[in-house]
Structure 1
Amino acid sequence: MSRSDSTTPDTSTASTERIEDVDVSVEMQGSFLEYAYSVIYSRALPDARDGLKPVQRRILYQMNEMGLRPDKGHVKSARVVGEVMGKLHPHGDTAIYDALVRMAQSFSLRVPLIDGHGNFGSLDDGPAAPRYTEARLAAPALAMTENLDEDVVDFVPNYDNQLTQPDVLPAAYPNLLVNGTSGIAVGMATNMAPHNLIEVVGAARHLLAHPNATLDDVMEFVPGPDLPTGGTIVGLAGIKDAYSTGRGSFKTRARVSVESISARKTGLVVTELPYLVGPEKVIEKIKDGVNSKKLSGISDVTDLTDRTKGLRLVIGIKTGFSPDAVLEQLYRYTPLEDSFNINAVALVNGAPQTLGLLELLHVYVNHRIEVVTRRSAYRLARRKERLHLVLGLLVAILDIDEVIQVIRASDDTEQARAKLIDVFDLSQIQAEYILELRLRRLTKFSRIELEAERDQLVAEIAKLEKLLSSKAAIRSLVSEELGAVAEKFGTPRRTVLTEAKPSIAGLSVAAAKRQAAVLEVQDIATRIFLSATGRIARVDLVAVDDSLPQRIQPPQRRSKHDAVLSTLDTTSRTEVGAVTNRGRLIRFSPVDLPVMPPTSIQLAAGVRISEYLVLSDKKEHVLGIISLDSDRAIALATRQGVVKRVTPGDWANKPDFEIVALKPKDEVVGAVQGGEDDDLVFITSDAQLLRFTASGVRPQGRAAGGMAGIKLAPGETVVFFTSLSTDDVATAIVATVAASSQTLPGTDPGSAKLSDFSEYPAKGRATGGVRAQRFLKGEDTLAVAWVGPAPARAVGPDGTPRALPESGSRRDASGVMLDAIIGAIGSEI
């Protein structure tokens, strides 16, 4: 072989090889960006529209496709994981099961989306393996996936292009705000707190009605997060920062009460913990603090948590130690006080953005408007298609003999179709449908059914066309649907919002003594509000600076959440009393009540008084707040028409005591403080109003049973009682709501009327009243009544505002029909 032959390259091999020089830094940068985008878009961050990460969305969609609805049985979680992994999410079973578990945990999500059966973990322990647990969709998850078959969202291919999956879920409520989320991506992270469904929906509906609403406007509805585990949020400045910029932090505290755990021992009882903090972690930190001498005054810690009573940690206090001082140490050194950092990062149009509360609501509202618009367009197209077929069938049935003759005379289907189109002026679709018509549809009854269906379709098409032609109508429909979801799945607020109390933990000895001295002598003027739905809070009327106190203006801003049942001006360290329908007076101090800023009063942020005070059972409720230091008598009335005024100063030295001896099956309906010249006012179930001077009722001791207040007709009861001062009489109004006793409570709104109190003449005690409202046909009782200074404020059973007719009606006039249930009426702040 020659030299030239030996050096000749192998052309066949060279032609198949391809070697390129690539800069390593460029390759690493490109690969990292692709990985980062995949993690951000496909795994770690939620979509701002439905609030779900891809794995969560795929789980809910696949479970919906599997028919795992609330009315069906549970299936093994392993089966769900396998279906999701095999069809939609090929990233490992662990990630899928972890996401499924979190959506089933009531302590992680404010509105759980999965109904789990078995051990789905706790705040201290992980869940059982997927082969041991079972799952199905919870009822709220159906609201997330409804109408998927009506072209409301886009569908995209799955990982192998064999199936399709929704790019986003319809989401009938703002899931991202309601349930919050957390996730760590590449170079960014998200962490969002859960909120109350009723409050978030209220904000979204306000935004639908007022697209140019400001952040302060929507914060009237969403005062702060509502955590699944309850607790207390202290310090509201961080929440406002998070709502305005998408970044902020706040502190959460456990709900702790001081109780006597034995005859000689006092303890701190913890019934609610900060978000995602477990009792075992708290106990461990307490033990570490005691061993390291950081915590003092603690004798023992006992975990009495069970499934019946829920969380209950009892921390024993050594004799001689102040429970308040020990609690301050616990807040400083244990997770009884924890921080939550909000970093509201979510995907908007496929790109991560940091969003404030207003931006999040706008993204959701726009998504929901698009969903409803696409759904309406889809339904309109389907109804037009069906109407086209129905009209063809009617043509065929009206001249069925000729249709049959045309078909019989045809040689094949194609010829029959062509003849039908030509003879009866039908479309190809109509002709094809007639050819497939079954003989049993040719009856007279079928013709009647088709004509009825035609008329119904025409009406529905007109309604849908009218809806699609009006953006305002679509926004109104979206708002109505949101309201229905909130009414169905909404629950009362669990987390109390309050400003932080001064802390003495961690100060030097001298500084702590100075702070304690300030707290000891400081007695802040405050105003207590009791709402019509049973929430209590306070507003401090004096702001204490570092040196001198400064009086500030009383609260002027009105709350959009609730009506006021009772108001009392007192001081933060003065004992006051709460009078219940059982005739009990319960002592308490307002010092631990949630403090609302006087510039933005949110009664929904108050604590439920049933959780703050110890009531005998769920049927006992508070009617009014009274001062124990006042020389004015307490006037009260019962459902059976008894009136009583209790002598001031005749108080027992007990936490609670009876102030009236009630007859069997009787209860107190109203309790207020007033003077001798005040007017006592009764309103009965048959719409009779009686007013007389309080001086006509002699004061009695606590053990007395009262005297006759109003003469009742057989079978009637007292529904409202109050006392009006001479200054209030001139501006007072009477609000009544009539209904039928034959309908279920909460189903018939009834009619309402507002009239001036001055139209009602005064009469003597123990007489009958004068008519306060003329009943319409079908009405026979008063459901709600109220008398007080104008203006009156009506709310629904959940505290949302309700409209009342204008004042000025005649005393005995009929009411104006209502369009929504009124649960209570009170005064404005």
Structure 2
Amino acid sequence: MARRSTPAPPPEDFEEHILDIDVRDEMRSSFLEYAYSVIYSRALPDARDGLKPVQRRILYTMNDMGLRPDRGHVKSARVVGEVMGRLHPHGDSAIYDAMVRMAQPWSMRVPFIDGHGNFGSPDNGPAAMRYTEARMSPAALAMTASIDEDTVDFKPNYDSREMEPTVLPSALPNLVVNGTTGIAVGMATNMAPHNLVETVQALRHLITHPKASVDDLMRFIPGPDLPTGGKIIGLDGIRDAYLSGRGSFRMRATARIETQGRKKAIVVTEMPYNVGIEKVVERMKSLVQAKKLQGISDVKDLSDMANPTRLVIEVKNGFHPEAILEQLYKQTPLEESFSINAVCLVEGQPRTLGLKELLEVFLGHRFDVVRRRSAFRRKKAADRLHLVEGLLIAILDIDEVIQVIRTSDNAAAAKERLIDIFELSELQAEYILDMALRRLTKFSRLELEKEQEDLKRTIEELDAILNDEKLLRKVVSDELGEVAKTFGTPRRTVLLESAGVAVTSAVPLEVADDPCFVYLSSSGLLARTTTADAPGAGGPRGKHDVITSAVRATARGEVGVLTSRGRVLKLGVLDLPTLPSTANDPHLTGGAPVSEFVSLEAGERVLGLTSFAEGSLGLAVGTRQGIVKRVNPEYLAAKDEWDYISLKDGDEVVGALEMTDRAETLCFITTDAQLLHFTAESVRPQGRAGGGIAGIRLSDGAHVAWFGAVSDDAVVVTASGSSTALPGTEAGSAKVTPFTEYPPKGRGTGGVRCHRMLKGEDTLVFAWAGEPPARAAAASGAAVDLPEIDPRRDGSGVPLAQPIAACAAPVALQLGTPAPTPPVAG
């Protein structure tokens, strides 16, 4: 029988230690520790580099692994394992989720991960990490550049075996450009993405104008620029967010009405941010089944590689697609709200920041990074210069150096004798003893002397940066400009201060055929006025957008859209959104993108509008290769679209306009700064099939930058820059000159010089001529201040704050009517 063992008695000196703890105190302290960990180590980004800890650790680890854009992809599981084992012991799913988001172009405006494989979609998750591969994107290199030059502080990792950066150098303003979202304990953050080029322009303006207001910065950053495009309706909430860090705006899908056979269809080409097509389709089906939405016969998702977003909603006969689209905006995720809550960590404390504060924190970080980098490089250059000077001493007396070394008992004695005889430092002596004999040549001496000069010059330049705050700020500004040129892309999201007149019921069949005006803005918005008594109104624009084309029409009439492919696309005026007819308001809002009304081919641009009025003088057309054509008025055909010029391969139309009595002088401006103008009578009109005649003689490598019709009262606006810069990223140097300063030349000649290039400039990045005062706008629609009029015909320009995307005359002058109010200078 087994015996049950009895526990041994405790030793005599054993005492029990039982602590009585109040459960409320324990819960309070434990919860605070947990909250602190979530806030500072997981959920909130640092305001300097805009990264959460897991994102920072992913980029730092990939940089250490050498997964650069010029290397091959590696399995995502390998990256996740390295990050989890070295720096982030919080589970592989959290790391992989963060890694996937940094690779999705619909989630981040500038992705940091170059993913290979299935990284998901707005509706579906990614494949498992064992199936996908990844490497750093070029933008990620800008985030980690100079990290090994003592630019940031490091701290021990979770087990104190390695060191990790507390922040990345971040040459790119990541928090503003890519936004972020996160839920902490008792607080959350949600920030919208913005355009990189616009953000850099605002940062450079803030460097030169530290006291700039939020309204000043909004001239460069008028609103978010979402990765998925779409439209933003209502800008008041955006301004509130930029001022206080809290605000909201409405996102709307981009849709247009198309005719498909005998039916009408609503085609959605861009979705709101973080909204998937499947979510929208599911909501539509539930509304139709519940009989809360009528008029839809079918919904098809035709998205593919060529058309990433194409949702076709077929409309039943007898229903107006405009009314259905308005109901879809109200009842489905085709229109969603985005709430901005700009909470981030500043010096380790969570704070809610406005736009200016976000930019100031980033600039302060970049100033510190460049200052520390310059000090590191200066020390490195000084250390190398010290060794080079020692080598030069050794080479000058090389025979004696060799004799000293040969007659020494050992290396230590040789070092001591070299220090005493040649007055060298200990480092110099050790370096000479370690030097290879092949360095003791005449050629090496020349190399060393050149290296010595280069090092001294480098040290002087770095000393200047460290000792001159203005020079330091200029270096940061120049580096930001390079970032914008390298990674900048055009704006994708259209900003609208209002949505125009909403269609809440079926459009009546009988509409009065009243006179009106049709406007096209520089940001591609179309709209019409309700009556013809507002020729001086601003049209479909915000407070800065300019009207590039305006024509007279009637409410039930048609206008033509002229494109760069030489096509005329008919457009019903009744389909356009209506603007209020307030002639005294120069800042009317509304309008809709032209892509909602006409189908454009890849690379095709809208150049302007034309009316189909009787008595028209036809079209004047100029192409990129210098061809000019006058199109007979008989081009007005009973078709929905037709060609108005036969283009050669590689050519495109750069200017097309309807001829009027006052537009009797045709003008070309080329990229090599040549201007040629001649009378329209020298161009014989042709039919639609004609290919035009020689307009201007081009030099090698040049092409036409602008073509149009001008009067003697016109001014010429030109901006020069570098041909190697990404279009739309270089502000350039602008000049405004009276048109009368340029003498006329015969058609087919080379013209006269209209702009002198500055150093580093080799092309015109923008050109325009028209009635003063010229009004310029950036790609976002923000106003661009032009310099004063310069009477010099071939003078150089004045640097601009941001690139010009469009220029236009006041609307009243475009329509040939006197302006009701004095025009505002551009």
* Distance 1:602-1:670 versus aligned 2 partners, 3 A rule: same
Question: 1:560-610 deviations in whole A, cap 9, x for unaligned?
Answer: 8x987545577888643332344432233676579999999899x998757
Q: Is the 8 A contact 1:102 1:109 kept in 2?
A: yes
**1:653 equivalent among 620, 633, 638:** 638
Once residues 797 and 676 of structure 2 are traced to their aligned partners in structure 1, the CA distance between those partners, rounded to angstroms, is: 23
Indicate the residue corresponding to 1:152 in structure 2.
151
Once residues 126 and 78 of structure 2 are traced to their aligned partners in structure 1, the CA distance between those partners, rounded to angstroms, is: 16
Distance apart, 1:492 and its partner CA? 1.3
Instruction: Give the counterpart letter for 1:272 in structure 2.
Output: E
**1:681 equivalent among 660, 666, 669:** 666
Indicate the residue corresponding to 2:382 in structure 1.
384
* Distance 1:242-1:679 versus aligned 2 partners, 3 A rule: same
Distance apart, 1:415 and its partner CA? 2.4
Match status 1:219 vs 2:218: yes
Indicate the residue corresponding to 1:536 in structure 2.
524
Once residues 796 and 338 of structure 1 are traced to their aligned partners in structure 2, the CA distance between those partners, rounded to angstroms, is: 27
Distance apart, 1:643 and its partner CA? 4.2
Indicate the residue corresponding to 2:332 in structure 1.
334
Between 817-826 and 308-317, report the one with greater CA deviation.
817-826
- Show the 5 A alignment for 1:119-134: 119-134=118-133
Distance apart, 1:789 and its partner CA? 3.4
Q: Give structure 2 stretches of 5+ with no counterpart.
A: 1-9, 810-825
Distance apart, 1:231 and its partner CA? 1.4
- Show the 5 A alignment for 1:179-198: 179-198=178-197
Between 155-164 and 119-128, report the one with greater CA deviation.
119-128
Q: Please give the secondary structure, in 2, of the residue aligned with 1:13.
A: coil
Match status 1:580 vs 2:592: no
Distance apart, 1:759 and its partner CA? 3.9
* Distance 1:418-1:31 versus aligned 2 partners, 3 A rule: same
After TM superposition, the score normalised by the length of structure 1 is: 0.83
Q: What is the Cα-based RMSD across aligned positions, in Å?
A: 4.5
Instruction: Give the counterpart letter for 2:571 in structure 1.
Output: F
Indicate the residue corresponding to 1:621 in structure 2.
605
Once residues 717 and 81 of structure 1 are traced to their aligned partners in structure 2, the CA distance between those partners, rounded to angstroms, is: 50
Q: Is the 8 A contact 2:720 2:757 kept in 1?
A: no
Indicate the residue corresponding to 2:468 in structure 1.
470
* Distance 1:400-1:159 versus aligned 2 partners, 3 A rule: same
Q: Is the 8 A contact 2:541 2:588 kept in 1?
A: no
Once residues 490 and 193 of structure 2 are traced to their aligned partners in structure 1, the CA distance between those partners, rounded to angstroms, is: 14
Indicate the residue corresponding to 2:708 in structure 1.
722
Q: Please give the secondary structure, in 1, of the residue aligned with 2:232.
A: strand
Q: Is the 8 A contact 2:665 2:680 kept in 1?
A: yes
Once residues 485 and 591 of structure 2 are traced to their aligned partners in structure 1, the CA distance between those partners, rounded to angstroms, is: 21
Q: Is the 8 A contact 2:686 2:692 kept in 1?
A: no
Once residues 730 and 70 of structure 1 are traced to their aligned partners in structure 2, the CA distance between those partners, rounded to angstroms, is: 53
Q: Give structure 1 stretches of 5+ with no counterpart.
A: 1-8
* Distance 1:443-1:558 versus aligned 2 partners, 3 A rule: farther
Once residues 669 and 477 of structure 2 are traced to their aligned partners in structure 1, the CA distance between those partners, rounded to angstroms, is: 37
Once residues 204 and 661 of structure 2 are traced to their aligned partners in structure 1, the CA distance between those partners, rounded to angstroms, is: 47
Match status 1:756 vs 2:767: no
Match status 1:374 vs 2:372: yes
Q: Is the 8 A contact 2:776 2:807 kept in 1?
A: yes
Q: Is the 8 A contact 2:152 2:165 kept in 1?
A: yes
Q: Please give the secondary structure, in 2, of the residue aligned with 1:148.
A: coil
Distance apart, 1:821 and its partner CA? 13
Q: Please give the secondary structure, in 2, of the residue aligned with 1:433.
A: helix
Indicate the residue corresponding to 1:3 in structure 2.
none
* Distance 1:493-1:463 versus aligned 2 partners, 3 A rule: same
Instruction: Give the counterpart letter for 1:579 in structure 2.
Output: L
Q: Is the 8 A contact 1:114 1:138 kept in 2?
A: yes
Indicate the residue corresponding to 1:273 in structure 2.
271
Q: Is the 8 A contact 1:794 1:822 kept in 2?
A: no
Q: Is the 8 A contact 1:177 1:195 kept in 2?
A: yes
Between 199-208 and 369-378, report the one with greater CA deviation.
199-208
Aligned residue pairs: how many? 793
Once residues 411 and 526 of structure 2 are traced to their aligned partners in structure 1, the CA distance between those partners, rounded to angstroms, is: 82
Distance apart, 1:350 and its partner CA? 0.7
Once residues 264 and 563 of structure 2 are traced to their aligned partners in structure 1, the CA distance between those partners, rounded to angstroms, is: 27
**1:671 equivalent among 656, 660, 685:** 656
After TM superposition, the score normalised by the length of structure 2 is: 0.84
Distance apart, 1:145 and its partner CA? 0.7
Once residues 62 and 588 of structure 2 are traced to their aligned partners in structure 1, the CA distance between those partners, rounded to angstroms, is: 40
Between 711-720 and 190-199, report the one with greater CA deviation.
711-720
Distance apart, 1:331 and its partner CA? 1.5
Q: Is the 8 A contact 1:637 1:671 kept in 2?
A: yes
Q: Is the 8 A contact 2:511 2:556 kept in 1?
A: no
- Show the 5 A alignment for 1:256-655: 256-261=255-260, 263-501=261-499, 528-531=519-522, 535-537=523-525, 554=538, 566=549, 575-588=558-571, 592=576, 613-618=598-603, 620-629=604-613, 633-639=617-623, 642-644=628-630, 646-647=632-633, 651-655=636-640
Q: Please give the secondary structure, in 2, of the residue aligned with 1:104.
A: coil
Instruction: Give the counterpart letter for 1:588 in structure 2.
Output: L
Question: 1:220-243 deviations in whole A, cap 9, x for unaligned?
Answer: 111111111111111212111111
Once residues 595 and 389 of structure 1 are traced to their aligned partners in structure 2, the CA distance between those partners, rounded to angstroms, is: 74
Once residues 714 and 27 of structure 1 are traced to their aligned partners in structure 2, the CA distance between those partners, rounded to angstroms, is: 82
Once residues 282 and 96 of structure 1 are traced to their aligned partners in structure 2, the CA distance between those partners, rounded to angstroms, is: 29
Indicate the residue corresponding to 2:769 in structure 1.
787
Distance apart, 1:82 and its partner CA? 0.9
Instruction: Give the counterpart letter for 1:723 in structure 2.
Output: A
Once residues 292 and 471 of structure 1 are traced to their aligned partners in structure 2, the CA distance between those partners, rounded to angstroms, is: 67
Indicate the residue corresponding to 1:4 in structure 2.
none
Distance apart, 1:326 and its partner CA? 1.3
Once residues 760 and 600 of structure 1 are traced to their aligned partners in structure 2, the CA distance between those partners, rounded to angstroms, is: 33
* Distance 1:145-1:626 versus aligned 2 partners, 3 A rule: same
* Distance 1:572-1:101 versus aligned 2 partners, 3 A rule: farther
Between 594-603 and 653-662, report the one with greater CA deviation.
594-603
* Distance 1:563-1:389 versus aligned 2 partners, 3 A rule: farther
Once residues 563 and 10 of structure 1 are traced to their aligned partners in structure 2, the CA distance between those partners, rounded to angstroms, is: 93
Instruction: Give the counterpart letter for 1:587 in structure 2.
Output: K
* Distance 1:752-1:240 versus aligned 2 partners, 3 A rule: closer
Q: Is the 8 A contact 2:201 2:802 kept in 1?
A: no
Instruction: Give the counterpart letter for 2:342 in structure 1.
Output: A
